[in-house]
Chains A and B, each alone.
Chain A
């Protein structure tokens, strides 16, 4: 048992439902007790979905507990088949149903005899994988199911398209800025004269999955979902895939170079060269490269930042901050513990320390200790920032409704670099403004705040020293306070006077 107040990644079935409801005309039936259909609320509220979320529950109640589901699940599947006529019904186990150990596969087999829809059982272990891993797994399962079906029926056409083409794998519902990223990726590929073969799962139809092998290569923009599918397609059909996230100028260029390589592999006679495109975009279309040179960004040099999020976003943002903006990343971390090795490798050399945890209190304590000028994290870090008075830019799930903006806000591609530059700059300016206010005798009447999440300290500050502390500009005040207290503790002093403050400053050269 674990005492938990908050979690970064949801339970496995959420991942399965996200994939299922991203496809067009796919219905998911959860084998779950009443109240577990909370996914529908999230999708309807966060994504502001106009359509009913294609997820229903086959309710597990006391009767089911006593005598098993019997006909219930099969009836619910066939009923949904008649009502909605979906192409595919995904029976989704939940944590509750997985300990009931009913033979759900048997229900699926029985239901698929009578229903016109295809029926599959999502194959995820609730106690071993989280939301993201389950999503990855389910997408692969659906793709595999339809490709194998096509192969059996002899409808699988393995020839590739005449023109270079690509599949985009891993765009799905409730993903962080996924819709905008998808539009940006399509634009990028269009610029490169590459046709979009299929985008899955968002808006895709399972009937079209058999056309996946027609593309020249697969593009997997996010680390968390789509990789398993891409690896499966590579193994089965020899399709190459690109898993470099085109986030930030350097990585976008790198991603395009990979595309160039794969395209050129397939057309040996006429070589394609994307370098002029990269150069043009980098220097003139994206404003981010210019921004890095501008004096605005100069002011950010060496400022401390902390990054935390899913593996994809945290790694990319860390590299952008360090490599493209000259910001010092004091600590970077991810809650994707299952992908820790990859993450460490990605951020090696771009940060001072790495934190792999899914415990938000550890993240909070880390931030309190480091006292960065800005945080780039999830909604949780935003709240930590609020309490510590540190600005925060949200760069990764889990997120609230305000992170599903109506306006166009991609994180990927060249427009993405502009958006990220704005986000970073705005987070820091808030901090700068604050400090300018202080320097020019702002209107600060606040009491001193302790830059720590836990209430500690047995030290008392006398009146004069408090006044003196208040005179110190806010952006270094916390540090001075901490250093003074550290000095006081080392010397067994409990009452802090102005003299002690000066002594501490001298001793620690703070």
Chain B
């Protein structure tokens, strides 16, 4: 357990005894993003209790998600899974009439080997609502990876991009490709044909994947539009019925670091071309992201450098606060590499980047960017610890005494009591952190404990634990 900081990126792997949210937490933001969806989590009381507590007040707003709570009869197969799910889905259809029902498989459905993927198509036919199955369980995934499993499952439902000579014909939804709608679509296309054709000539269809609040999504789209790159669709779209078309002519690019499964599905199953770029988090990331996309399409970027500079200029007050301060990422949501890279560029020193899982291929561009940023800022490379061990991390933190620990809520209060400033990592998942516009929001979060401290600094209360327990950290 040495704390030496090396010159090259080092990857370590620990025991995986770390605290993180269960991946089913993705329903919290996905049900809000996909307006006509209904999420049904097939699991036990434990899953329900987690959701209820993790989502706090959202639970009271008549959410479009629910638990299919498994009872003893379900576990011991005294009840018929198919009939039970059918009963619940019919009730959901009656009460809410969603355009899609997403079944979230959990640890329990894995262990009892409930064949959700097998039952879904049958039930879909029977009740007339698409059923998408995502196995977002704690056996295989951590926190944000839940979204990855849902989007990967949804990628299969995107309509096929059909190419007819030079003209592209877009079929919105394979479910409604009856003759008449086909005709009207074609008609619309011919009237706009010239315009569309002009745009298509500029860049092939580009689909961005990753769930973002609609304002952030349109901010990113318009950043690209400034460089005359047209975004043809988002996975997920605001509505399930508006899923983008995919095909072998379609380029795809991720906006979040935890979407490796979705990326793989898009490449292997839908034959899309993946643009591997750093992620648009921080002004540096956003610029690199746009530049990469433009370079793939052979477009020369305009005014990007100036735009980035301007953003940095606006962040000045916050940068003064963070410069030279050290950070320790305990690691629980896979945003860590991108956030660390941004914070290093802000002048911070990162001791350790804990991360639940690192897909070195999907994050390759981001990792390279991290390395370059470290060189540029002449800061030693942080160690990257996959599947961290929280106990060991706390020991390391005790030696390193970082100015800020980015950590889960389970550790935040105990660390604060020991005089270590913390920021809850989960806030980065819920806050708007993408693009040029939101760079300030990231720093707003990072500097909050530091600003709070400026107010409390001289009161002499930073360590609030008794002597006997102090030696345990």
Interface residues, chain A, CB within 8 Å of chain B? 1-7, 10-11, 13-14, 32-38, 40-42, 44-45, 48-53, 56-57, 59-62, 65, 76, 83-84, 94-96, 99-100, 126-128, 130, 380, 383, 400
**Residue B186, interface by CB 8 Å:** no
Q: Smallest distance from the beta carbon of B306 to chain A beta carbons, Å? A: 44
B:39-59 near A, CB below 8 Å: 42, 44-46, 48-50, 52-54, 56, 59
Is the CB–CB distance between B410 and A53 below 8 Å? yes
Q: Could you tell me the distance between the alpha carbons of A42 and B53 in the complex, rounded to whole angstroms?
A: 8
A2, A100, A126: the one contacting B111 at CB < 8 Å is: A100
New A-B contacts (14) at CB < 8 Å, excluding given A35-B142, A44-B411, A99-B75? A1-B84, A3-B68, A4-B69, A6-B59, A7-B52, A14-B49, A34-B16, A34-B20, A34-B22, A35-B138, A35-B143, A50-B417, A51-B417, A127-B71
Chain B 400-417, CB within 8 Å of chain A: the 1/0 string? 000000001111111001
Closest to A49 in B: B413
**Residue B469, interface by CB 8 Å:** yes
Q: Could you tell me the distance between the alpha carbons of A123 and B49 in the complex, rounded to whole angstroms?
A: 21
Q: Smallest distance from the beta carbon of B90 to chain A beta carbons, Å? A: 11
Is the CB–CB distance between A52 and B23 below 8 Å? no
Closest to A379 in B: B60
B22, B108, B413: the one contacting A48 at CB < 8 Å is: B413
Q: Could you tell me the distance between the alpha carbons of A320 and B464 in the complex, rounded to whole angstroms?
A: 40
Report whether over half of chain B's contact residues are helix, strand or loop; otherwise say mixed: helix
Q: Could you tell me the distance between the alpha carbons of A34 and B22 in the complex, rounded to whole angstroms?
A: 7
Is the CB–CB distance between A49 and B107 below 8 Å? no
Chain B 104-142, CB within 8 Å of chain A: the 1/0 string? 000110111000000000000000000000000111111
Q: Smallest distance from the beta carbon of A338 to chain B beta carbons, Å? A: 15
Chain B 11-51, CB within 8 Å of chain A: the 1/0 string? 00000110111111000000000000000001011101110
Residues of B within 8 A of A14 (CB): 49
Q: Smallest distance from the beta carbon of A168 to chain B beta carbons, Å? A: 23
**Residue B181, interface by CB 8 Å:** no
Q: Smallest distance from the beta carbon of B447 to chain A beta carbons, Å? A: 22
**Residue B324, interface by CB 8 Å:** no
Is the CB–CB distance between A50 and B54 below 8 Å? no
Q: Smallest distance from the beta carbon of A95 to chain B beta carbons, Å? A: 4
Q: Could you tell me the distance between the alpha carbons of A32 and B465 in the complex, rounded to whole angstroms?
A: 30
Q: Smallest distance from the beta carbon of B69 to chain A beta carbons, Å? A: 4
Residues of A within 8 A of B214 (CB): none
Is the CB–CB distance between A38 and B472 below 8 Å? no
A2, A50, A96: the one contacting B107 at CB < 8 Å is: A96
Closest to B67 in A: A4
- Identify which of A1, A36, A127 gathers the most chain B CB atoms within 10 Å of its CB: A1
B54, B56, B71: the one contacting A1 at CB < 8 Å is: B71
Is the CB–CB distance between A3 and B107 below 8 Å? no
B:68-118 near A, CB below 8 Å: 68-72, 74-75, 79, 84-85, 87-88, 91-92, 107-108, 110-112
**Residue B391, interface by CB 8 Å:** yes
Q: Could you tell me the distance between the alpha carbons of A3 and B69 in the complex, rounded to whole angstroms?
A: 6
Q: Could you tell me the distance between the alpha carbons of A65 and B138 in the complex, rounded to whole angstroms?
A: 12
Is the CB–CB distance between A33 and B53 below 8 Å? no
Is the CB–CB distance between B139 and A60 below 8 Å? yes
Q: Could you tell me the distance between the alpha carbons of A105 and B53 in the complex, rounded to whole angstroms?
A: 31
Is the CB–CB distance between A99 and B45 below 8 Å? no
**Residue B66, interface by CB 8 Å:** yes
B22, B44, B84: the one contacting A95 at CB < 8 Å is: B44
Is the CB–CB distance between A35 and B22 below 8 Å? yes
Q: Could you tell me the distance between the alpha carbons of A128 and B76 in the complex, rounded to whole angstroms?
A: 13
Residues of A within 8 A of B66 (CB): 3-5
Q: Could you tell me the distance between the alpha carbons of A185 and B394 in the complex, rounded to whole angstroms?
A: 38
Is the CB–CB distance between B413 and A5 below 8 Å? no
What are 22 A-B residue pairs whose CB atoms fall within 8 Å in the complex? A2-B69, A3-B68, A4-B69, A5-B63, A7-B48, A7-B49, A34-B20, A35-B143, A36-B46, A37-B19, A41-B19, A41-B409, A45-B409, A51-B472, A65-B111, A83-B391, A95-B44, A95-B46, A96-B107, A96-B111, A126-B45, A127-B75
